[in-house]
Structure 1
Amino acid sequence: IEDPGGCDVFVALEVHGIDAAAPSPRWLARRVQLAGMRPISLAVDVTNYVMLELGQPVHGYDKARLRGPIVVRRARPGEKLVTLDGAARVLDPEDLLITDDRGPIGLAGVMGGAETEMSGATTSVVIEAAHFDPVVIARCARRHKLPSEASKRFERGIDPTISQVAARRVAELLVEHGGGRIAETATVVGTPKRPEPITIDAQLPSRVSGFAIGDDEAVDALRTVGCDTSLEGGRITATAAPWRPDLTDPSDLVEEVLRIVGYDRVPSVLPAAPAGRGWTKRQRLRRRVGLALAASGYVEALVSPFVGERDWAALGLGVDDVRRAALRLANPLSEEEPLLRTTLVPGLLRTLARNVSRGRTDLGLFELGSVFLPGVAGRPKAPSLGVDRAPTVDELKELEAALPDQPLHVAVAVTGSRGAAGWWGPARPSSWADAVEAAREIARALGVHVRVEAAQQALWHPGRCARVLLGDSVLGHAGELHPRVCTAYGVPPRTSVVELDLDALMQQAPDIVVAQRFSSYPVGKEDVALVVDSSVPTADVEAALREGAGALLESMRLFDVYTGEQAGEGKKSLAFSLRFRAPDRTLTDAEIKAARHGAVALAAQRFGAVQRG
């Protein structure tokens, strides 16, 4: 053994004079077949059967095809091996090999080589039973994409003391059913490593589980799983059985004790409610937004936070778009999605497309989740901390300084129809207005007033996009997706999306949203149509009308936009429905007319609005 780190025990035992034509006994072939393996020949079936019986993978070589002694070593640059599946494999220097004088004859613990394969003419066999390092075998099997029955067992850990028993069992079965004789001595190289004893406080299982477990009961439980156990001075010393390589520390022993004693003995105790108001303000506001969107007919989706470069291309983001500056994972789950998202839209669109492909064509989804922004350049590197102690205050500050900004965003995607069709008529198709209304619904849930004005932004349709503002700050955008984006993600045309910075909204949200007092007095309704320049934002006209109407204005709704010949070139007509009501009296016609006149007058003063009709 040239690499004792990769192989600490190697056993070789020869059997000569086997009847090459001897078939496998029916009981053995049947058991191998029931285990999901194909019967091949006596020699092969016996090695497979012993592996299933004892858990020790065993391999056999045709003695006539071997040249010189068997050596266990790492691969050398440029070496190749044709394995039993007929594939020619280029070996990596990290691969552990079984070799003879001619070169590699097998990938240790994974698969043997075709050069020394046992065949129907084999009469002399060299039986190999060894103990290999689990990590080495696992990496080799994944490197060559070759998961075998042997590698699956080695990488999970086997009993290092059973190699000689397994080799002898194979030899005896071969002689019993195929004749021949066993060599007088076996070649045994290396000594199996014995597990180190582990000492724990006898009351540790009780402290971890929360209920009383006697010292003797804990000792008996460990003996049940094969541990050599002693109790002295309130401390338990246990040496794990060689077939339990997973028992390496006190936590493993506690887990075994609880498993044997029974998890059903853990008492069901309700935790005491902590003092204080419970949820933080941020948690309450987040839940309020989720409930408001759910009440509006949207379904919450939990989406993976990983994206890839292909998403930036699908969204049509420019090379200088700040959303392209994403953090790259050191060990991504998928090479196609190695980045942390800077926007919620890609994942939400993939979820929408998956639902549409399964027949859900009328659907509205929303997500509340964090995005990850690298922030300023030169961010400090996160310190590497141990797990043996709690971090200090300074270490926590260093960790926080190294973290990227992670603002909470909310996104809504809607496609198909809103509502259901029936005898009352067809369903209303969704539009960009639904995305804008979702933004307003989010703001209303938080008790914040936002403005909406026309804009252009990558991934939205150039003429059907609006920016959502809180004061002068842009919270996000809403509107109909660009047709190119719909095609890239496989969602229906005219799908609409809104994404807002929820953290920025919540910072301005009051602790308590005061509901408006409901008035029992009649409402006064007035409609007004104003002609303004096409360049004037509708939101600004609406704001002027609200301000001019005063406190008597209960609500206002834009119900028509006209840009035809009658409005004039470069003009548009905006029609609003105004509702007036007082909390303490019935409004007179004069009061309603005065409020309406004040609204129109202020719009005319600011934007040159002219009343139609």
Structure 2
Amino acid sequence: QLIAEIAGGEVLESVLEAGALSPQTRSLNVSSQDIQRFMGVRVSAESMQAIFGGLDVPVTKTHADGVEVTVPSFRPDLTRRIDLVEEIARVHGLDNVPAPLRMVVEIAKPSRRQKVRKLVRLALQGMGFSEALTDTFVTAKTALSEFSPFNAGAVRLEARNPVNAETPSLRRNLIGSLLLAMGTNQRQGLDHVRLYEVANVFLPSGDGSNSGETEVLSLIGADYFDLKGAIESLLQGLRCEQKLEANPTEHAVFAPGHAAELKLGGRRFGVIGEATTKAMAEYGVEGKCALAELDFSAVVDAWVPVPTMTELSRFPTAERDLAFVLDHAVTWSQIESTAREASGEMLREIRLFDEFTGKQIGAGKKSLAFRLYFRDDAKTLTSEEIQSRLDAVIKAVTDQLGGQLRG
């Protein structure tokens, strides 16, 4: 018509109807359970039928729990079951739909590592240690800048644009940071400070295949044996069932003859030793200073959450004392392991109670006296059984460690 009236077109014939689109019908089901689930109210099948009838949506089937409707052509928006629920909600009244205030609060349970970290803090603070929080970036030119008890071949990471030009490197150990903190405390008049820190060090491999972040526990104190005792007390507090071994080692940052590699259950655990005068001077530390750095993952694995109970034995324990003269290089750890292996399960405990050096012993020698505790939980041990175990220990220490039994 517009073409004919405006553009000068001529209508030759009237409109021809070539055909009509056949309407496509769809059927949808909705149940009372659907209404309850999404609206929080229950609507009966009769009420649904009345609502859809008012909306000109034919109800083709009615069953006990809901209805089936045929979607009319003028409602192309009704394509899913949830669309029918929405129509019922609008007619039923949104004000009639309950809106309960729900707040679900899920408290994340601490992981094993987090629990152990807390236990370590409590234990060390109870022993008089203070926690240190040191900088991740350190200077690259100190005696300890290249030291690591866990990965000596790791590359050193440096920042391209460090905030402080004097500290461009990511730390490879924590003991250097604790030495710096110790020196700062001493300059403030705090001489008797014991520090610890649990943090990451960075020991990536040479090919850069890993980030190299390793969590370690480091401690600093005045005395080697005091620090070693603190580590043993910490493991005892964690109910560790593995044996701690200290084997002599040498490193440029530790005084000769005053360092040991620590193993826990045969696994590398860390290192402990007294710092050299040069290392202490670089960090401004005066007096003696003992350092330890431990693999924190090994500490986590050593924790026994539930204590194990052992029935008290009804049979007596027999005690025997032995004393040997040995080379100064022989460690107590070697003697203990040798004695336990030779005597078997009847040896319940072994304790060192005396160490002596002097002219009477000879140069390069030392005398160690220790007590052995034997017990069998099934019977009372006879003198012959105890003596056979004792002879086995004497033979093992003599043959394997070169010890000479003292009378």
8 Å Cα contact 1:544-1:602 kept in structure 2: yes
Shift of 1:462: 0.8
Distance 1:300 1:563 in 2: 38
Q: Is the aligned partner of 1:290 residue 2:82?
A: no
* Shift in alpha-carbon separation, 1:584–1:453, aligned structure 2, 3 A: same
Letter of the 2:190 counterpart: R
Secondary structure in 2 aligned to 1:466?
strand
Q: Following superposition of structure 1 onto structure 2, how do residues 9-408 of structure 1 map, counting pairs within 5 Å? A: 272-274=105-107, 278-310=109-141, 312-313=142-143, 322=152, 325-379=155-209, 404-408=211-215
**Residue equivalent to 2:244:** 450
Match of 1:465 among 247, 253, 259: 259
**Residue equivalent to 1:440:** 232
Secondary structure in 2 aligned to 1:457?
coil
Residues 70-107 of structure 1 show CA distances to partners (whole Å, capped at 9, x for unaligned) of: xxxxxxxxxxxxxxxxxxxxxxxxxxxxxxxxxxxxxx
8 Å Cα contact 1:372-1:406 kept in structure 2: yes
Shift of 1:526: 3.6
Residues 480-510 of structure 1 show CA distances to partners (whole Å, capped at 9, x for unaligned) of: 1112222222223221111111224534656
Secondary structure in 2 aligned to 1:573?
strand
Secondary structure in 2 aligned to 1:309?
coil
Distance 2:381 2:299 in 1: 36
* Shift in alpha-carbon separation, 1:324–1:522, aligned structure 2, 3 A: same
More divergent stretch after superposition (367-376 vs 570-579): 570-579
Residues 244-276 of structure 1 show CA distances to partners (whole Å, capped at 9, x for unaligned) of: xxxxxxxxxxxxxxxxxxxxxxxxx9983447x
Letter of the 2:170 counterpart: L
* Shift in alpha-carbon separation, 1:324–1:378, aligned structure 2, 3 A: closer
Secondary structure in 2 aligned to 1:409?
strand
Residues 490-540 of structure 1 show CA distances to partners (whole Å, capped at 9, x for unaligned) of: 223221111111224534656655365566876654432112334434321
Distance 1:542 1:436 in 2: 17
Shift of 1:468: 0.6
Distance 2:153 2:132 in 1: 22
**Residue equivalent to 1:501:** 295
8 Å Cα contact 1:530-1:612 kept in structure 2: yes
Letter of the 1:441 counterpart: S
Letter of the 2:225 counterpart: A
Shift of 1:598: 3.7
Identity within the alignment, %: 30
**Residue equivalent to 2:66:** none
Secondary structure in 1 aligned to 2:280?
helix
Letter of the 1:346 counterpart: G
Distance 2:316 2:273 in 1: 36
Distance 1:440 1:270 in 2: 46
Shift of 1:297: 3.0
8 Å Cα contact 1:448-1:505 kept in structure 2: no
Shift of 1:322: 3.2
**Residue equivalent to 2:354:** 560
Letter of the 2:396 counterpart: L
* Shift in alpha-carbon separation, 1:442–1:457, aligned structure 2, 3 A: farther
| Higher Cα radius of gyration | 2
Unaligned runs of 5+ in 1: 1-268, 380-400, 416-430
**Residue equivalent to 1:490:** 284
* Shift in alpha-carbon separation, 1:607–1:280, aligned structure 2, 3 A: same
8 Å Cα contact 1:316-1:459 kept in structure 2: no
The TM-score normalised by the length of structure 2 is: 0.63
Distance 1:582 1:298 in 2: 41
Secondary structure in 2 aligned to 1:346?
helix
Secondary structure in 1 aligned to 2:262?
strand
Shift of 1:302: 2.1
The TM-score normalised by the length of structure 1 is: 0.44
8 Å Cα contact 2:155-2:206 kept in structure 1: no
Distance 2:187 2:385 in 1: 56
How many matched pairs? 302
